[in-house]
Structure formats: structure tokens, C-alpha cells
Amino acid sequence: DTGVSQNPRHKITKRGQNVTFRCDPISEHNRLYWYRQTLGQGPEFLTYFQNEAQLEKSRLLSDRFSAERPKGSFSTLEIQRTEQGDSAMYLCASSARLQSTDTQYFGPGTRLTVL
Amino acid sequence: GNSVTQMEGPVTLSEEAFLTINCTYTATGYPSLFWYVQYPGEGLQLLLKATKADDKGSNKGFEATYRKETTSFHLEKGSVQVSDSAVYFCALLFNDYKLSFGAGTTVTVRA
């Protein structure tokens, strides 16, 4: 059973650098989500794809953030000109719209530290 | 707005004790409700869910009942083990795709 995978698991970068994270969803899941989790808090919704279409972006996503899901498979989340406030765990989840209620399955996350 | 409020931790228990973590929600309509668990060093895992009023979700000895009249979804387990030590998150699903999480409750079970 292959779950959601994320790479890298950890990323340390200097302020002002660009970083890119990758998420591989569960095979055949048509929905993909990005969340951000800071220490001591629950995950917060960032954005959502259905197949290759990005259907919603949270106001938490400034214009320095961009996400893509080419061909409706894996997804990338890029942060340009990183700031210390971007330090967080970035979580990816996927789901399949098979029943009336989606269940989202989460990956292990990418922990970003901005120095 | 759509949000959940869950009991603040940390919670420390002895093995075989009874565990309750309170969760209440605010939502328009009737959202689906979830409990996720995060074990040390691991990712978020779905523990249980309920999709409509009076539904009871259960898994690994944990239970939670969707109570519309009290807008609650409290998590319970009758006899905890050391392996239940984790962070527990209550969440609701709204707009068909967006999860709103509580802040999490850290549970530590001592042998």
C-alpha cells in the first residue's frame, strides 16, 4: 500500500531563497490538498486541486507561494523569497471522491526552517 | 465561520485510565467530523469519522458520537495504553473539501 509521499522531509534554507516541495498522492486520487502546520497548532488549509485544476487558494497563500499539479498527478509547492515566518510543516493530502464524504489521507510532511 | 474548539492539553494519564477529549464545532449546515491522530515522529492519520448526526465513529477502541444538539464530537477510550500517547486533532469538513482543525490535544500515557 503506497500512501502519500512528500519530498524532501526536511529543508533548511536562508531567508530570501526559493524552495520547492513535492507531493505524490495515492494513486488514482483525483483530489490533492496542501496544508501548513505551525508548532502547537492544527493544520491550516492552503490550497486544493481537483485533477490538474487548482480550485481554491487560501488567503494564507501570499503571491510568493505557487502550487501546481501538472497532468493531475504529483504536485509541487514553491515558496519564493522565503521569510522566517514561512517556517512550518507543509502537509500534503489526497482523496478520492468515491462517496458522499471525502476522507483525506496525509503525507509525512516537509518541515521547512528558514534561517 | 466553520471551526472546531477542542480541549487544551496536555493530558497525562496512567495506563488503563479512561480518556475523554472534548471537541465542539461551529458550522453552517451539517459538516462531516473527524478525529486525526499524530504519533511521535509520524504524519497525521485518520482515527475515525462521522458523517451525520447521531453517527458513531469507532476505531482502535476509540469512539466519538456526532451530537447535533450540543454541536459536539467528543473522543473517548475506555482503557488507554502507552501506545496511545500522541497528539489528537478534531476536524470538520466543509464546502465538501476543506478541513478545519482544532489546535490539537497532547496525550501522554504513563505505564
Cβ atoms of A55 and A1 closer than 8 Å: no
Q: Which residue has the cell 492539553?
A: B9
Confidence tier at A7 by pLDDT (50, 70, 90): very high
Confidence tier at A102 by pLDDT (50, 70, 90): confident
- Return the residue of A nearest to B42 by Cα: A108
Cβ atoms of A101 and B49 closer than 8 Å: yes
Q: Mean pLDDT score of chain A, rounded to an integer?
A: 93
Confidence tier at A100 by pLDDT (50, 70, 90): low
Q: Is B96's CB within 8 Å of A108's CB?
A: no
pLDDT the model gives residue B11: 96
| Strands of the A5-7 sheet, one edge to the other | A5-7, A19-24, A75-79, A65-68
Cα separations in angstroms, A73 against A10, A14, A23, B44: 22, 30, 9, 21
Site from A7, A29, A38, A103 to mutate, B interface, most B CB atoms within 10 angstroms: A103
Site from B25, B42, B46, B99 to mutate, A interface, most A CB atoms within 10 angstroms: B99
Name every residue whose Cβ is closer than 8 Å to that of residue A110 and which is 6 or more positions away in sequence.
A6, A7, A8, A9, A10, A11, A21, A89, A90
A97: pLDDT strictly greater than 80: no
Which residue from B18, B15, B105, B90 is spatially nearest to B57, judged by alpha carbons? B90
Q: Is A109's CB within 8 Å of B43's CB?
A: yes
Confidence tier at A103 by pLDDT (50, 70, 90): confident
Three-state DSSP class for residue B8: coil
pLDDT the model gives residue B78: 96
pLDDT the model gives residue A1: 55
Low-confidence ranges of chain B (pLDDT < 50): none
